[in-house]
Amino acid sequence: MPTYNEADSIVGVITELSTLDVDIIVIDDNSPDGTSEIVKKMRFDNVSVIDHGSKKGIGPAYISGFKVALNKGYSKIATMDADGSHQVLDLQRMFIESDSYEVVMGARWIEGGSVSNWKVHRILISRFGTWFAGRCLALPYKDLTGGLRIYDAKAISQINLETISSNGYCFQIEMIRVISVIKASIKEIPIHFIERRNGVSKMSKVIVLEAFARVSIWGLQRIFRHNADKLHYVK
């Protein structure tokens, strides 16, 4: 779980996750509100904190978390938001499905999926982002920007993580782009996403523009440089 100023929600999220048999890695970008210190004071044996230094964003945070998880020898690596928007019950169902797939994606925009407390413009941005990325990258999935996922560690270990440079929700798109390059099996599972009740959303125009620009470039590369992705991403 990457964190930046999640002091109001992190305790509740970790407490809810304690119902599952999982270890938790919190990657904190030097939150001014003391998120890192709050987690450390909880003193849970299954919770560790990476103090990531100055704010780098969600992409580099996830990459650091992947590296630590691989070094610790975990077989499955789950990613989720730290603001309470992802539900532990959904994650539990996804773990069951992960026995049969190398990547399980929590999807809001398929039958059975839903979103609560989002304004219309956020829904439109998310749905357009997935539609646009799907068309540009020839990906058939219905929710490419969601953060609740489970990756098989063997699949992640095939990727040169240093080549992944996206931030914001563009990171989520790039990860599925990479996973598709290595031909890993992917399953979308419907989830219920609930907009945060505390704290401030990290969504910004910069994040949206980054995703649009990168996906557009990747789309052109797919047309004119067919094997470039495999050479770029795969170890």
pLDDT of residue 20: 95
**pLDDT at residue 223, rounded to an integer:** 82
- Which pLDDT does position 167 carry in this prediction? 86
pLDDT of the residue at 201: 61
Give the angle 187-4-127 at the CA atoms, nearest 5°. 40
Per-residue pLDDT, 200: 63
Confidence at residue 199, expressed as pLDDT on a 0 to 100 scale? 59
Q: Give yes or no for residue 140 having a pLDDT over 90.
A: yes
Q: How confident is the model at residue 194 (pLDDT cuts 50, 70, 90)?
A: very high
- Show me where the domains of the chain are located: 2-233
Rounded to whole angstroms, the Cα distance separating 24 from 15 reads 11
Question: What's residue 138's pLDDT?
Answer: 94
Written as one letter, the residue type at 159 is I
- Asked if the model's pLDDT at residue 197 lies above 70, the reply is no
Question: Is a pLDDT exceeding 90 seen at residue 169?
Answer: no
pLDDT of residue 227: 66
Tokens of 163: 């080549």
Q: Please answer whether residues 233 and 159 qualify as being in contact, where contact means their C-beta atoms are separated by less than 8 angstroms.
A: yes
Q: What is the pLDDT of residue 230?
A: 67
The model's confidence at residue 205, banded by pLDDT at 50, 70 and 90, is confident
For residue 203, name the pLDDT band (cuts at 50, 70, 90): low
Stronger pLDDT, 131 or 201, i.e. the higher one:
131
Do residues 132 and 126 lie in contact, with contact meaning Cβ atoms separated by under 8 Å? no
Distance of CA 154 to the CA centre of its chain: 17
3-state secondary structure of 119: coil
Return phi, psi of residue 67, to 5°: -60, -45
Give me the CATH topology for the region 2-233. Spore Coat Polysaccharide Biosynthesis Protein SpsA; Chain A (3.90.550)
Q: How far is CA 159 from CA 56, 68, 155, 164, 227, in A?
A: 21, 15, 7, 9, 15
Average per-residue pLDDT for the chain = 92
Where residue 188 falls among pLDDT bands split at 50, 70, 90? very high
Q: How confident is the model at residue 12 (pLDDT cuts 50, 70, 90)?
A: very high
End-to-end CA distance of the chain: 25
Average pLDDT score over residue span 217-223: 89
Task: Identify the burial level of 160 via C-beta atoms within 10 angstroms of its C-beta, where 0-12 means exposed, 13-18 middle and 19 or more buried.
Answer: exposed
Closest CA to 62 of 124, 132, 101, 4: 4
- Looking at per-residue pLDDT, the higher value among 202 and 138 belongs to 138
Whether the predicted model's global pTM rises above the 0.85 cut: yes
Nearest to 145 by CA among 82, 94, 220, 208: 208
Supply the angle between the helices 120-137 and 205-224 in degrees, to the nearest 10.
20
Percentage of the chain surpassing pLDDT 90?
Answer: 79
Q: Please tell me the predicted confidence (pLDDT) of residue 202.
A: 57
Q: What is the mean pLDDT of residues 65-80?
A: 97
